Amino acid sequence: MQFLKTLFWIVLTMILVLWGKANWAVVPVKLWGGLIADVRLPLLIVFGFLVGWLPTLLIYRAKLWSLRRRFEPIERNAAPSVPAMAVTPTPTKVSNAADERVARDSEAWPTDTP
C-alpha cells in the first residue's frame, strides 16, 4: 500500500511539473496605483490555491485544538485511576477414563510417573 501512495505522489508531481513547464508564460497582473506585475502562470495559480486553502486549514486546525481542549478533562476523568486486579483462572477438572487429570495454564497434561 505504501508503494501505491508513493507512486501516486510521484505521478502527480510529474504531471504538475510537465504542466508548469508547458504553461511557463508571463502574465501581467494589474495592481493598485497603476502597478503591473509580471508573474509566471504556474506561480500565480499556486499562489491562488494557497490563498484559498490556508484559511480553511487554519480554521480546521483551530477547531481540532478547541475540541481536544474540551475533551481532555473528560477523557482524564473517565480513565480508571486504580488498575483492576488480575483474575487468576481456576484449574478445570477433566475426567479421562480411570485417572483424573487437571488442566492448567502452565502445563497442558501432567505426565504419569511410573
41-70, pLDDT tens digit by residue?
Answer: 999 999 999 999 999 999 999 999 999 999
pLDDT band at 97 (very low <50, low <70, confident <90, very high): low
Does 35 fall in a domain? yes
In the DSSP assignment, the letter for residue 21 is H
pLDDT band at 22 (very low <50, low <70, confident <90, very high): very high
Residue 75 pLDDT: 84
Domain membership of residue 45 as a residue range: 12-78
Its pTM stands at 0.54
Does 48 fall in a domain? yes
**In angstroms, rounded to a whole number, what is the distance separating the alpha carbons of residues 76 and 74?**
5
Does 28 fall in a domain? yes
Domains: count for the chain: 1
Does 110 fall in a domain? no
pLDDT at 38 over 90: yes
Which contiguous run of DSSP H or E holds residue 61? helix 41-78
Does 109 fall in a domain? no
Average pLDDT, stretch 56-85? 86
Does 103 fall in a domain? no
Which contiguous run of DSSP H or E holds residue 36? strand 36-40
**In angstroms, rounded to a whole number, what is the distance separating the alpha carbons of residues 92 and 35?**
90
Does 1 fall in a domain? no
**In angstroms, rounded to a whole number, what is the distance separating the alpha carbons of residues 96 and 1?**
51
